[in-house]
Amino acid sequence: MGQARPPRRGTSAYAARRTAWVLVALALVSINLRPAITTIAGTMGQLQAGFGLSPHLLPLLGALPVLAFGVSAPCGPWLARRLGTGRAVAAALLALAAALLVRVLVPGLLLPGTLLAGASIMTASVLVPQIVRANRGTGWWTGLCTMGFGLGAALGAGLVQPLQQAFGGSLAWALAVWAVPALIGAALIDRTGQTAGRPDGTDRTGGPASGAGLQETTTADGATGETGTIPLRKQRTAWAVTAFFGLQAMLYFAITSWLAVFLVSKGQTVAEAAGLLAWFSVAGLPASLLAPVLAGRRVVLKFMAPGLGLLVAAALIGVLAAPVALQFLMVGLLGIVQSAGFGLGMALVVIRSTGPQSAGSLSAMSQGLGFALASLGPLGAGFLHEWSGGWDVPFWALAAEAVLLAVAGFLAVRGRAVSVEAVEAEHLGEPAAVGR
């Protein structure tokens, strides 16, 4: 105990230290996957003067990152198979840093740079559940990552105005400075995440990876024969998880793209609206941490998944109807239930998959197709606002979508878990589906 020699590889001390660093790396990666979006959302009113952007292109700018999410989801598993998971995430963060710089420092590249930033974020994001699953992470791991997303969103929205003042009024540098934490995250995950989340479905010891905490021991939906599995696209649970993730993401991006503009129309100043957008993310941090943990309890999960959709609908109507004096409270409540929905969406990828390879594939499907669906959020809300000339129609439409989210949640927690690994049926128990 008192000897100074370092612990050998494989000892409990080494494993604990390595686990701590993997958690730190995952948290920093997660923090980097939202500022590229919320910094732009918080400065929508300044982009016309600062970058000469046509007002007609503002809805497109809000939708570009999400469109990139939808088309770039396969890049994460593809890179992981060739580089290893850690290096794949590091490469994505390096591309993100480059995109954050060129989009604001090179004239005419705001839209292409934002598209590249979205693709880089998606490439890293789909690999986070795979790393969690391969490291046998519990609900706290998933909660830490989802809280990191929320913290990054809050920092991006809340610090853009102070950073602009610190840089002598330069909006470009206030946006470009976010390349620095992306570079730090790339360096850290490259060192700690390389052996985590191997794409062949084994854990870091070389044996079959098995989850803890959030894992369910179930067979693939419809698996046939003694060994083998069925395509992911034919597994109903995979589609339900994808629908849940896509609908909550559509709500999130519609809200973050237009909430500040809505609040200004209600009488808030630009700075106050940006502050409330940051509060929207900060208020949801505890919920994003706790939702994956609570989701590990089956009794809670079967009520939580559909219930969150209904709560989001109620919170949206509350923000629409509340006077200026109550917006701090209502925006905070909306942030809590919305962040809980995102935390649950990420947790479902882990809960409803049978191993790290399945988690990676389900993550790519749910986030890829889900974010493709989510891209309609900012565009649809902006179109409805222009068409109706107000905010009542967009908010009621989003509330109706939240009801659909409740339906998707109801279906996502029922049925058998998702599997793409070839497994021997005799080694698996009877399906333990939630909600039986």
pLDDT value, residue 395: 95
pLDDT value, residue 192: 66
What is the SS3 string spanning 330-392? HHHHHHHHHHHHHHHHHHHHHHCECCHHHHHHHHHHHHHHHHHHHCHHHHHHHHHHHHHCCCH
pLDDT value, residue 83: 86
Domain count of the fold of the chain: 1
pLDDT value, residue 193: 54
**Domain-embedded: residue 246:** yes
**Domain-embedded: residue 349:** yes
**Domain-embedded: residue 149:** yes
pLDDT value, residue 430: 34
Total-model pTM: 0.69
pLDDT value, residue 424: 36
Bridge partner residues of 353 (DSSP): 418
**Domain-embedded: residue 4:** no
Range of the domain at 211: 12-427
**Domain-embedded: residue 432:** no
pLDDT value, residue 223: 36
**Domain-embedded: residue 7:** no
**Domain-embedded: residue 434:** no
- Mean pLDDT in order along the chain per 10 residues (436 residues): 49 74 86 87 72 76 77 82 87 95 88 92 84 69 80 84 88 92 90 50 37 35 45 82 91 87 86 85 85 82 89 94 91 93 86 74 81 81 89 94 93 79 42 36
Maximum Cα–Cα distance across the chain: 73
Cα separation of 132 and 123, whole Å? 16
pLDDT value, residue 421: 65
- The CATH number covering residue 159 comes to 1.20.1250.20
Among 251, 350, 366, 372, residue whose Cα is nearest residue 291: 350
Phi, psi of 202 (to 5 degrees): -100, 160
Burial class (CB in 10 A: 0-12, 13-18, 19+), 372: buried
Under 8 Å between Cβ of 341 and 255:
no
**Domain-embedded: residue 433:** no
Bridge partner residues of 208 (DSSP): 202
